[in-house]
Structure 1
């Protein structure tokens, strides 16, 4: 099977379909570890990755700052996508929703400063704030887009109904939900994205690295002369033309393995076998 190699987010922002999730990269007081994390980000670009995903939540801005240190000035074809809508707190899980329009404005300005950008080409709402009406949250991002600070607007962890509510207010360019071969809870959201031409960026795209434990996946990997991780990424690329996986790692070896999935070509029979793996069998 031959899958498209690129996707135009929002209809015009072309990226290669296998991106990089930078979540695990952090500045480190140990100089050797810090340099290693910088090297991973730089190697991703060397390997042809043109979409890197980050967020304020990832180290409360530290991840964004590390990417700027590693990659600024950015290559012309590189898209740094980030996320807002969450603030740090010392209670509970360590974070809280922050979808108030005034706060979102401040968060975008902070992200622009940390990333050393004048405009964020893809800005995603990390979580919908249940205390703020959806039109108010996405409306604030629409206003920022109209002011030129944001290029395109995305959502994360939403239902198909919530996506539709947001689309009634502004064009949605991407959705980032948990999704992989073994976890297809958000299949209805993927179908809604397909219908609207919205990019679907699955996080945890390789089932937390557990795919090799599944006999069928291991068998296809052996047949394809690939690793199980590469096979499940190849399945995602074949499964829908709007899927843009963003696997993450702190290892250059694993990064190169992930990007190598671009070269894996599944036969129709192999794809069908993988597609029958029970979606309810989460690792």
Structure 2
């Protein structure tokens, strides 16, 4: 029986090298070639585990010729591994095109699970984890960043972002400005590393915490924001109903109809609508 060449998508530690899983070491030792986001960074990791497999660069700026060379490797019947600088490849890292084309050509693609900053942060945040969304890196400019938060103002799922350390203070200030002082925020910084920090506070207090300690503005940051849970004592379901109704009706009529359906006082709904225009 012919054995199909395989592309292995291999997770690597996000800080603590002891988090490298044995299966990942075995795969990286046995494949014919490793495609890495940054070969200089990855050589340190491979050297630590006595892995001498040939290494080539594959990153966001790689051209189609580099992608073709990697696919050619699989076409020639040789196994290939894909790694990123840290964590699970393709999670805010390059690799999507390679995996997509490998699957299109019928090659086997196998995940080797391991560290992932998104999931690690979520697991210790104490926020609802049954439904969550990951948005990657936020825009660098304040106006665009606030635009993202405004669009997500009533998102009910836990929200997860990556943020650069030099922008984390401004980012939390934008959460405060858009989502309010009581919206719960979690900063998971330097996960698995020596100066790991996991802090959960309302947005106003989180901004004070970060502002008072410059160390919190260093390292790799994951920011989690609690989902929308309602305003002014109104359940989120009622607010959503009112918003739907007032898309097609004057606010007074929408509030009256919503009150009849929900049992909430019409005046309370009307006042909410005035203070929170669509």
Same fold (TM over 0.5): no
The higher relative CO (CA closer than 8 Å, separation ≥ 6) is in 1
What is the TM-score with the length of structure 2 in the denominator?
0.29
Larger Rg: 2
